[in-house]
Structure 1
Amino acid sequence: MTIRVRRDSGLYGWERALGRAGLAPVAGADEAGRGACAGPLVAAACILGEGRTIEGLRDSKLMTARARDACYDAIIASAKAYAVVVVPADEVDAQGVHRANLAALRRAVLRLAVTPRYVLTDGFQVDGMGAPSLAIWKGDRVAGCVAAASVLAKVTRDRMMIEADAHFPGYGFAVHKGYTTRVHQEALERLGPSPIHRMSYRNVREAADLAHGAERRARVIDDE
């Protein structure tokens, strides 16, 4: 079956086209935190209510924090089904970020209370979701259900990183959310890795080596 979606069909064109083909309900899946060196990877899946639109919905990365929060509340209130999966930093290290990402997206879809007949993902093809699927380049910009999943994932993760900032002060998690910025890297090198840093990332390992070296030097001075 060939599904054709016009470029000017808007954010909900994919859902409408798949629905006309008898493939509703359609789920979207996306993640947040793939590129961060600290904090969890968060994946979400969402089936929007039939015929419903979310005011202001778009790619979560292009929205302000206030707009994302408003969309998050609207999605929770009106979605037919949604699910969120959190993968801690140590599990990301153990599995590798790409494998952890695919597994989390799969788990999010399989946890939906309503079984989708079709799944749209952002960028990566994900197998084993119990339904036909299609990976769409920039899916969170062209498919409403994927955009909704991106909002759920990002808002969930941002809130977790703001909470982490209170537990691990000094890194600036509330601001950069665990992504590698100059301020974050300077704090990482000064303080060493926190328990939520991903040790499989090169910049984190190098900062750990610096911290251990400084600790050894301090020990030698104390012994003298």
Structure 2
Amino acid sequence: MQPPRAIIRRSSEAWALQSALERHGLGPVVGVDEAGRGACAGPLAVAACILRPNDAKHFDGLTDSKLLSAAERERLAVIVRRRAVDHCVVLVDPTEVDHRGVHAANIDGMRRAVARLGVRPGYVLTDGFPVTGFGVPSLAVPKGDLAAACVAAASILAKTTRDALMAELHERRPEYGFDVHKGYCTPTHTAALAMHGPSPDHRYSFVNVAGAARLAGERAADSPPGPVGHNESFDGYLDDPVAEGGEGP
């Protein structure tokens, strides 16, 4: 009789790349990922995370944060923060996203997150596209938040951190419903933008936000003089060539 075949679970496979790099003396391995890249409001959150090799048994269900429920993300975020060798989350505010462009701001956020780790990594894994400038070798991993546990952990830290901030933002600006759509371009958010105009927490380099700001400015110009209103704080902003460029999500 042959021995029973070993069942390789997907969660274990996600640790294979890190384990191989560690065995070849290239550790510690840090995973990097972001949340909020496609949102038109709120900060971009970029996380870097180093997990202990062979620690998979403590991370049941670890995967891409987008595939998890909010409760599962929060549960795993607690485990990641407790068991990670090191981690860091960097926030890039909307103004910086507007001035640098979302892709450049994202890459710079990744470099900052890795640089701020207390433990110097030997190798960096990024999700999907190559990034240089870490000072150590790096590798772009297709679907990295599914294929590499440390990238999945970074995605969870970035997502839970950003979601908490958007919930706080909702308390200050409930008219936009940030607690529901987290600043992404949903029909609900689009309707709120059309009704209230953009807030200072929106990204004016995004076409839909720039358009909503123009409409708000036109409405304000057609209105009779009165007390300073919500949208008057945006007068003149659209003269900025960055805002007029209209980079989409």
Give the TM-score normalised by structure 1. 0.93
Letter in 1 for 2:98: D
Separation in structure 1 between the aligned mates of residue 150 and residue 51 of structure 2, nearest angstrom: 6
Whole-angstrom distance in 1 between the partners of 2:172 and 2:151: 32
Q: Stretches of 4+ moved more than 2 A in 1?
A: 6-9
**1:88 has 2:93 as partner:** yes
Picking from 149, 174, 180, the partner of 2:185 is 180
* Residue in 1 that maps onto 2:22: 19
Verify: 1:59 aligned to 2:64, yes or no: yes
1:133-170 CA-partner distances (Å, limit 9, x unpaired): 00111100010000000000000000000000011111
Matched, 1:122 2:127: yes
Cα distance in 1 for partners of 2:224, 2:90 equals: 42
Q: List aligned pairs for 1:106-121, cutoff 5 A.
A: 106-121=111-126
Answer with 1 or 2: which has the greater Rg.
2
Kindly provide the CA deviation profile for residues 180-203 of structure 1, in whole angstroms up to 9, marking residues without a partner as x. Answer: 000100100100001100011110
Instruction: Provide the aligned C-alpha RMSD in A.
Output: 1.7
The residue correspondences of 1:1-224 to structure 2 (distance < 5 A) are: 10-53=13-56, 54-219=59-224
Write out per-residue CA displacement over residues 57-99 of structure 1, whole angstroms, 9 at most, x where no aligned residue. 1000000000000000000000000011000001100111010
Residue 110 of structure 2 aligns to a residue whose secondary structure is: helix
Alpha-carbon distance between aligned partners in 2 of 1:49 and 1:18, rounded to the nearest angstrom: 13
Aligned to 2:236: none
Secondary structure of the 1:91 match is helix
- The sequence identity of aligned pairs, in percent, is 53
- What are structure 1's unaligned runs of at least 5 residues? 1-5
Amino acid at match of 1:28: G
Cα deviation, 1:23-74, whole Å, max 9, x if unaligned, reads 1210000000000000000100000023212121100000000000000000
Amino acid at match of 2:206: Y
Kept after mapping to 1: 8 A contact 2:15/2:54: no
Aligned residues of 2:19 and 2:53 also touching (Cα < 8 A): no
Q: How many residues align?
A: 216
Aligned residue identity for 1:175: V
Q: CA deviation at 1:214?
A: 1.2
- TM-score normalised according to structure 2 size: 0.84
Q: Distance in 2 between matches of 1:23 and 1:169?
A: 47
- Counterpart amino acid of 1:21? H
User: What's the offset of the Cα at 1:7?
Assistant: 11
The CA deviation at 1:219 is: 2.1
